[in-house]
A and B are shown apart, each in its own frame.
Chain A
């Protein structure tokens, strides 16, 4: 099996407005999903990300992000093992937060040298 990184994208402005209960409920759903893909032998690791960020370039360190114009940004990541990019995508689409449309996942094969 190959490793894949699932980059979780969501609207950070919505995320900031979320109440504690809402975000706890979301984490609860994610834990259920992670438990499920652990049992099937697919989960490797993963974590949500905090909102604070800097952008480091050749010339400067910008510290008042989010920086992108688009409203979506990366809010977490998961690394899984899967047979193929297709299977990894099916696994990603089984995430309950993907199904409600709250998050999107970018599925990327991890390069092996």
Chain B
């Protein structure tokens, strides 16, 4: 391993641990100071490891980090807690209160928007660099930096602190939503960031596992979210051809789905049973129905329709109505589905959403109206910026008229 690649690996693994450890001593309002110390540590490593990588790189980093911290923080009282926080890190990787997880809890604050929470979590819990986060969220590094600065400003100006003791119900809800969004960003299909995507999904999975293992935090909702992640992951690879082109659910080779993972997911979905239904229960149940059906046609679409109806009660939005109408079509309710879709087209945001036109195109194709279908596919191409999606839709145009 070269010094750069091993440092990149260590950065991803240790950045959040180190910042989190320091924050424990200096307080979250001084997160910028903690971050500067850790950055300086990695800069030192970058300069010195060119000659020789130390025998114990991780211990080296913690030691240097501690020294920089002691030098730059004048407060004597803080010194002993810094020694302690960083010392524990070297001694044991798995301690009771993982600072990375505490950083995740810190951003599960109702004062922040979900987007701010996700960006904070990607930086200070998952340890992604700013340009990697920009890449993941298809944004610009400057915008990510701006969001991070805004969060730090809010932490300072509103004097936000780590809440002692186990998190309350509201915090737990926000926490699950952060992990749901993190995972979704990782699962999204856009080319050129597949390694980051995999890392992100793995991070979200590992955080939800921590929650499920914790007696204070494990809830039916958390188990349902875990099941949902596993169902989706079981299809992770099957969504692409060998050259990386997208394959939709209908045309994926179901033999390539990870059946072991589907079994584990089903187990957790079963364990998640409870009286109330969260969006994770509903989405995981839909994923279960897809994962266990032997073909696209043999999927229990009527059940999926009723699940979308329930989801719409929890989270009313035209985007869910869109999925509901699509499910109705495959459940055999074609005329009702078609008229609902047409009506949704009067909503500007839906009419300018590429997947709406993809859905209409597919339905028109099935009705042997390929000329009209192609019009919708062409509109869809103009509405997405993702090359992989454009290519996928172009493929649909090529196949239009031949599919039946």
A98 to B268 alpha-carbon distance, docked (Å): 42
Is there an interface contact between B352 and A28, defined as CB atoms closer than 8 Å?
yes
Is there an interface contact between B111 and A44, defined as CB atoms closer than 8 Å?
no
Of the candidate stretches B35-43, B314-322, B362-370, the one touching chain A is B314-322
Q: How far is the CB of A3 from chain B (nearest CB, A)?
A: 10
Is there an interface contact between B317 and A86, defined as CB atoms closer than 8 Å?
no
Contacts of B383 on A, CB cut-off 8 Å?
Answer: 28, 31
- Asked, given contacts A40-B114, A40-B115, A47-B348, whether A31 binds B353 with beta carbons under 8 Å apart, the answer is yes
5 CB contacts below 8 A, A to B, read A31-B352, A31-B353, A40-B181, A45-B316, A87-B111
Residue of B116, B177, B318, B348 touching A48 (CB-CB under 8 A): B348
Tell me if B112 counts as interface (CB < 8 A to partner A): yes
Task: Specify the chain A residue showing the minimal Cβ separation from B154.
Answer: A90
Chain A interface size, under 10 / 10 to 19 / 20 to 34 / 35 or more:
20 to 34
Tell me if B132 counts as interface (CB < 8 A to partner A): no
In the complex, per-residue mask of B87-123: 1 if CB is within 8 Å of any chain A CB, else 0: 0000000000000000000000011111110000000
Contacts of A84 on B, CB cut-off 8 Å?
Answer: 110-111
- Asked, given contacts A84-B111, A87-B111, whether A38 binds B319 with beta carbons under 8 Å apart, the answer is yes
Is there an interface contact between A35 and B319, defined as CB atoms closer than 8 Å?
yes
A84 to B143 alpha-carbon distance, docked (Å): 24
Residue of A28, A39, A47, A90 touching B116 (CB-CB under 8 A): A90
A94 to B318 alpha-carbon distance, docked (Å): 21
Smallest CB-CB A-B distances: 6 pairs: A40-B114, A90-B113, A83-B110, A91-B113, A34-B349, A31-B352
Q: Which of A37-58 contact B (CB under 8 A)?
A: 37-48
Q: How far is the CB of A8 from chain B (nearest CB, A)?
A: 12
Is there an interface contact between A35 and B352, defined as CB atoms closer than 8 Å?
no
Is there an interface contact between A90 and B352, defined as CB atoms closer than 8 Å?
no
Contacts of A90 on B, CB cut-off 8 Å?
Answer: 111-113, 116, 150
Is there an interface contact between B113 and A46, defined as CB atoms closer than 8 Å?
no
Is there an interface contact between A41 and B315, defined as CB atoms closer than 8 Å?
yes
Contacts of A94 on B, CB cut-off 8 Å?
Answer: 113, 115-116, 147
Contacts of A40 on B, CB cut-off 8 Å?
Answer: 113-115, 177, 181
Is there an interface contact between A30 and B349, defined as CB atoms closer than 8 Å?
yes
Tell me if A110 counts as interface (CB < 8 A to partner B): no
Contacts of B150 on A, CB cut-off 8 Å?
Answer: 90
In the complex, per-residue mask of B120-156: 1 if CB is within 8 Å of any chain A CB, else 0: 0000000000000000000000010001001000000
Task: Specify the chain B residue showing the minimal Cβ separation from A78.
Answer: B349
Contacts of B113 on A, CB cut-off 8 Å?
Answer: 40, 82, 87, 90-91, 94
- Asked, given contacts A40-B177, A41-B315, A84-B110, whether A31 binds B349 with beta carbons under 8 Å apart, the answer is yes
Q: How far is the CB of A98 from chain B (nearest CB, A)?
A: 12
Tell me if B390 counts as interface (CB < 8 A to partner A): no
A34 to B318 alpha-carbon distance, docked (Å): 11
Residue of B143, B170, B181, B318 touching A39 (CB-CB under 8 A): B181
Contacts of B114 on A, CB cut-off 8 Å?
Answer: 37, 40-42, 91
Q: How far is the CB of B177 from chain A (nearest CB, A)?
A: 7
Is there an interface contact between A39 and B352, defined as CB atoms closer than 8 Å?
no
A100 to B48 alpha-carbon distance, docked (Å): 42
Task: Specify the chain A residue showing the minimal Cβ separation from B139.
Answer: A96
Task: Specify the chain B residue showing the minimal Cβ separation from A76.
Answer: B348
In the complex, per-residue mask of B172-184: 1 if CB is within 8 Å of any chain A CB, else 0: 0000010001001
In the complex, per-residue mask of A88-105: 1 if CB is within 8 Å of any chain B CB, else 0: 001100100001000000
